[in-house]
Structure 1
Amino acid sequence: MDYLVVELSRLQFALTVLYHFQFVPLTLGLSFMLAAIETVYVVTGKDVYRQMAKFWGKLFLINFALGVATGITMEFEFGTNWSLYSHAVGDIFGAPLAIEGLMAFFMESTFIGLMMFGWNRMSKYGHLTVTYLVALGSNLSALWILIANGFMQHPVGDKFNPDTMRFELANFAQVVFNSKAQAEFVHTTVAGYVSAAMLVMGISAFYLLRQRHRAFALRSFRMAAIFGVTATMAVITLGDASGRTDYLMQEAKVAAMEGIWDNTKPPAASWDIVAWPNQKEMKNDFAIGIPYVLTPLLTHTMNEPVKGLRTIVDENKPKIDRGIDAALALKKYSETQDATDLAAYQVNAKDLGYGLLATEFAPHFDLSNITPENRQQIIDKTAKASIPDVWVEFYAFRVMVALGFFFLFLCAFGAYYSLNCKLESRRWVLRLSMWSIPLPVLATLYGWVTAEAGRQPWTVYEKLPTFISASNHSVGYMIFSLAGFVLLYSSFIAVELYLMFKFARKGPEDDGGDDADMAALGTSGGAGTIPSAAPAAKNWQ
């Protein structure tokens, strides 16, 4: 087994997701924001809201198109670069992906055409219904993808067949209603709403700083800021719920996120703001923390200890020992098809994944070469490798959380000044909003790293190790495909940025507003009074 091929396969898939995931949250958030804007248009009848829906709809369409282009490759990579994974769990993993493609994606893409080109061909209520269906389709796509990912994080509803050496679907309802998948879904989609709010606030701030499209920009900023406050509070709350789910299901991930090496002693356990994790010696070389915060943060109690990574490593050693026996018995059964060998495998079947993990440290990657003399050494090495990279988890999580609270701060101030008609005189809010447009992308990417790096060293948690899951390609093939992929996807990013900048700078098709419209907003060009020469009202259509 060539570890470089495995690492290159991981790198290529990670880059695929990182490229693709720049588009997904914005698509999720803008779809419901468009629905909210158009609802206001239908209720009030004011053409400025129709103009808003059409303009932000263009940016949504650009983002959606590039998201589709970058997402298709990802599904093919399961077969090209992760063929053993696809063979082993394709029955479970493939079902939600197929439903996503057949139902949610086609629903979304079909109604997008009606939403974009049906303004003058449908009634207000008909078009509003279509917009909500687009939003529903977008979020259903995310649901089914995260159901597939939820199985990787917390595998349920499956049964391993020793005759076919595959995990087979045993209970589809358990896969769909997997608590980990549902927690991921609500957290991820609401994070998308924050991304949309920040984009709309940033572009609206750009117009206001240049005194362009003021009636349009003031309304857009106000709706986005209020939407952003609600979404950011929700994403922080749901993030805590998702963390609680991880605490119950993936102890090693949570301990790595918090840099916890030894069992904590409540209630004075310290939550480390910064630290320098030392994975080799299993300790933090340096840490600055706040006492009495960690225990209630993770356990929601004041007296429950949190398990440290040293304890988790020690608890994994018996699992590895039993898993080696299970793997050896399974191999013998595959050769003999003898019921006695099958029974021997079934005794320790639940720990098979840990036995497969030990293959990495067995001589020549063959568990048959394990002897009584080297067995404990192999178990010890495997146990240390059974926890994620603490440095990556610790800081990816903190960057995500810090950005989340920054968004709450910015949206709250933006909403306050907008509702009190002081936004244009608070130029620091406008400038900060404009320069913060890319930050939600970073937050969601660091969130993805936290979730996926924390699952390592498994592709399917405690059942299928990552190093076993990769296809058997040559290093040259992987370098060639990776280089081509980077060039292609970088061109997609360039196209996205060019089109988004082009249409954002151009602004909405119509501009202007009347005295009553500006008076209703209570704004002006910096002095707080309505301009005496307000532009005449125009047809926002």
Structure 2
Amino acid sequence: MLSEHLVDLSRLQFAATAMYHFLFVPLTIGMTWILVIMESVYVMTGKVIYKDMTRFWGKLFGINFALGVTTGITLEFQFGTNWAYYSHYVGDIFGAPLAIEGLMAFFLESTFIGLFFFGWDRLPRRQHLLATILMAIGTNLSALWILIANGWMQNPVGATFNYDTMRMEMSNFMTILFNPDAQAKFVHTVSAGYVTGAAFVLAISSWYLLRNRDVEFARKSFRIAAAFGFASVCSVIVLGDESGYTVGEAQQTKMAAIEAIWHTEPAPASLKIAAIINEEEMRNDWEISVPWVMGLIGTRSVTKTLPGIHEILAKNRARVVSGIEAVRGLEAYRHNRQDKEALAKLKAHEADLGFGFLLRRYVKSMDEVTPEIIDKATRDTIPRVTPLFWAFRFMVGLGFGMLALFGLALWFSVKGTFAKHRWLLRSALLFLPAPWLACELGWFVAEYGRQPWTIYGVLPTHMSASTLSVGSLYGSLAGFVGFYTVLLIVEMFLMVRFAKLGPGSLGTGRYANEIQHA
């Protein structure tokens, strides 16, 4: 058994690197399609200002992309260094989409990013636009394969357990590819990236307008960001609803924790807007709720119920007890591969094997299990409710705030009066951090809400980590956080510097703050 401290440090290190990495990813995803829109208008109209817009915003995109790649590489290595048993146990499945991502999406993305930056004077307009489109497709394909891998961790379909190798093996690639959880997560996540890119362009364009510089450039950029952002934030909300439905289907424990549903309510369940949560006594001391809404979101019906945490715990306890028999059958079979009785016991309880593994956090042998230990393992199947409940609500609140912002920006863009409303421009600047914060909260809800599993219902987190020393984890964690913080500071410095320079950094002679190129 690995010490809890070591497992917690491994989790903290991966969480820190993943969260840092995801500061760069949404902007990369979002900016690619904004660049496609701007360059498409340039190709269709021949107006040079749209070419300048594509080149300028592409420069900021390039800074972000470079640092995003740098922070992302270490994540894949951590599966081998920090999560060795996880990699052994599910590598045949989890590794496949990541390998496809590297071979298909990353090379496609990287190749056409080079053509985007260095092909302006070497490619005809339409060919350069095609390179920009393929760059955007590569970026989104990269997100697709990564989220297919992550979706499988949330809802492990299309795989079977091999008793002889003690590994999960892929049984149906198409089932993994079209996993509802993965598909819902993909469209929701990339839409959040589109909102991030739109908010970035909207805020910087508003800053130019507030200072009355490069006005025509800023006005056109603002209009594109407003329209693209409004469509994207609507997509995030609609697809977030779909993502909630898939969670309700595949991860009822996570759904109950997010919504602080302690007891099964009559259908359709109410949606809690706010609550004072009593984790110790497993109830809400006070709450404000809206009837019916949660039932409609979580079940798409008025007759189906969403199980509460107490009812889920009762089911999970039965699964832990069944899992004891599965583990015993597995251990007996591994000791004697001719033991048909052990194999029959294993097959009879195989669906609950992962719940039996939860007990390994407390005992080495199933003979040491007591009712108290079973209760502890059962309680472990429920993540802490309070952080999930409030993180989700802050994320949703930010989403609706951005809906209001982009709705107003689009409305006044259509009327042609947005530049006169300084309160709107200041609001766009104020909301600049909002999409990043919402994205980070979304990932926290998705990953923390899956605990105590790395593979939901199959492999507990405490079994997945490598046998590293605590000292090495402290050292590498400090190194990663320090290095990534430096990269973040570098990114912000470069972004602010070039944003302040504006399109004058292109050296075309058409804008303020011109940089003359030799």
| 2:380 equivalent in structure 1 | 385
RMSD of aligned C-alpha atoms? Answer: 1.4
* Aligned counterparts of 1:313 and 1:258: Cα–Cα separation in 2: 16
Q: Distance in 2 between matches of 1:286 and 1:80?
A: 45
Q: For residue 102 of structure 1, what is the amino acid of its counterpart?
A: L
- Determine if contact 1:392/1:453 at 8 Å carries over to the other structure: no
- In the alignment, what sits opposite 2:336? 336
Partner of 1:524: none
Distance 2:243 2:348 in 1: 33
Is the contact made by 2:359 and 2:373 (CA closer than 8 Å) also made in structure 1? yes
Equivalent position SS for 1:168: strand
Q: What corresponds to 2:17 in structure 1?
A: 16
* Matched residue type, 1:311: E
Deviations 1:372-410 (A, max 9, x none): xx2x32222211111122112111111111111111100
Q: Match of 2:467?
A: 472
Query: 2:401 pairs with 401, 406, 409, which one?
Result: 406
Residue 171 of structure 2 corresponds to: 170
Maintained 8 Å contact 1:23/1:66: yes
* Match in the other structure for 1:288: 288
Does residue 226 of the first structure (1) align with residue 227 of the second (2)? yes
**Structure 1 unmatched runs, 5+:** 514-534, 536-541
Find the aligned partners of 2:114 and 2:360 in 1 and give their Cα distance. Answer: 51
Is contact 2:199-2:229 (8 Å) kept? yes
Contact map agreement 2:85 2:465 (CA 8 A) in 1? yes
SS of aligned partner of 2:13: helix
Match in the other structure for 2:273: 273
Residue 190 of structure 1 pairs with residue 191 of structure 2: yes
**Quick one: which of 466, 471, 484 aligns to 2:479?**
484
CA shift, 1:280, in A, is: 2.5
Q: Deviations over 1:342-398 (max 9, x none)?
A: 222111111100000122233xx432322xxx2x32222211111122112111111
Asked whether the 8 Å contact 1:215–1:512 carries over to 2, the reply is: no
Taking the aligned partners of 1:468 and 1:62, their CA distance within structure 2 comes to 39
What are the superposed Cα offsets for residues 32-52 of structure 1, whole Å, 9 maximum, x if unpaired?
110011111111111111010
AA paired with 1:303?
T
1:425-453 CA-partner distances (Å, limit 9, x unpaired)? 21111011112212111000101111111
Q: Is the 8 A contact 2:264 2:306 kept in 1?
A: yes
Cα drift, residue 260 of structure 1: 0.4
For the 8 Å contact 2:332–2:339, the answer to whether it is kept is no
Shift in Å at residue 250 of structure 1?
0.6
Counterpart residue identity of residue 218, structure 1:
R
Does residue 488 of structure 2 align to residue 493 of structure 1?
yes
Instruction: Assess if the C-alpha contact under 8 Å between 2:25 and 2:68 holds in 1.
Output: yes
* SS at structure 2 position matched to 1:507: helix
Matching residue of 2:365: 366
Report 1:189-338 matches (<5 A): 189-267=190-268, 269-338=269-338
Equivalent residues of 1:88, 1:165 under 8 A apart: yes
Distance 1:458 1:142 in 2: 23
What letter corresponds to residue 260 of structure 2 in structure 1? G
What CA distance in whole angstroms lies between the structure 2 residues aligned with 1:166 and 1:277? 39
Distance 1:397 1:361 in 2: 31
* Aligned residue identity for 1:442: L
Could you list the runs of 4 or more consecutive aligned residues of structure 1 that deviate by over 4 angstroms after TM superposition?
A: 510-513
Provide Cα deviations, 1:186-213, integer angstroms capped at 9, x if missing partner. 0000110000000000000010001111
Within 2, Cα distance between the matches of 1:447 and 1:193?
Answer: 15
Partner of 2:515: none
Q: Deviations over 1:108-143 (max 9, x none)?
A: 011101011111111110000000000000000000
Q: Could you report, residue by residue, the CA deviation over 1:473-531 in whole angstroms, capped at 9, with x for unpaired residues? A: 11111111111111111111011101111111110134759xxxxxxxxxxxxxxxxxx
Secondary structure class of the residue paired with 1:304: coil
Cα distance between partner residues in 1 of 2:356 and 2:490: 47
Measured in 2, the distance between the counterparts of 1:301 and 1:353 equals 31
Distance 2:361 2:387 in 1: 22
Percent identity, please: 50
SS state at 2:276 partner: strand
For residues 491 and 435 of structure 1, the distance between their equivalents in structure 2, rounded to whole angstroms, comes to 25
Distance 1:476 1:194 in 2: 40
Where does residue 416 of structure 1 map in the other structure?
411
Asked if 1:505 corresponds to 2:503, the answer is no
Q: How many residues align?
A: 507
Aligned to 1:38: 39
- Contact map agreement 1:23 1:63 (CA 8 A) in 2: yes
Q: 1:151 touches 1:175 (CA, 8 Å); kept in 2?
A: yes
What's the offset of the Cα at 1:58?
0.5
Can you list the C-alpha shifts for 1:240-280, whole angstroms capped at 9, x where unaligned?
Answer: 0010011111101111111100011235x432211122223
Which residue of the partner structure matches residue 73 of structure 1? Answer: 74
Match of 1:47 in 2: 48
Letter in 1 for 2:395: M
Q: CA deviation at 1:94?
A: 0.5
Q: TM-score, normalised by structure 1?
A: 0.92
Counterpart check, 1:431 vs 2:426: yes
Provide the rounded CA distance (Å) in 1 between the counterparts of 2:486 and 2:235. Answer: 34
Answer yes or no: is the 8 Å Cα contact 1:272–1:290 preserved in 2. yes
Question: In structure 2, what is the Cα distance between the partners aligned to 1:342 and 1:402?
Answer: 51
Q: What is the aligned partner in structure 2 of residue 141 from structure 1?
A: 142
Distance 1:447 1:217 in 2: 31
CA distance in 2, matches of 1:439, 1:405: 11
Give the match for residue 523 of structure 1: none
Inter-partner Cα distance in structure 2 for 1:424 and 1:78:
49
1:520 alignment counterpart? none
Please report the TM-score for the alignment, with normalisation by the length of structure 2. Answer: 0.96
User: Using the alignment, how far apart are the partners of 1:387 and 1:419 within structure 2?
Assistant: 49
Structure 2: which 5+ residue stretches go unaligned? 513-518
Q: Which residue of 2 aligns with 1:521?
A: none
Q: Secondary structure at 1:337's aligned position in 2?
A: coil
| CA–CA distance in structure 1, aligned partners of residues 362 and 368 of structure 2 | 10
Q: CA deviation at 1:327?
A: 0.5
Per mean C-alpha deviation after superposition, the further-off stretch among 243-252 and 326-335 is: 326-335
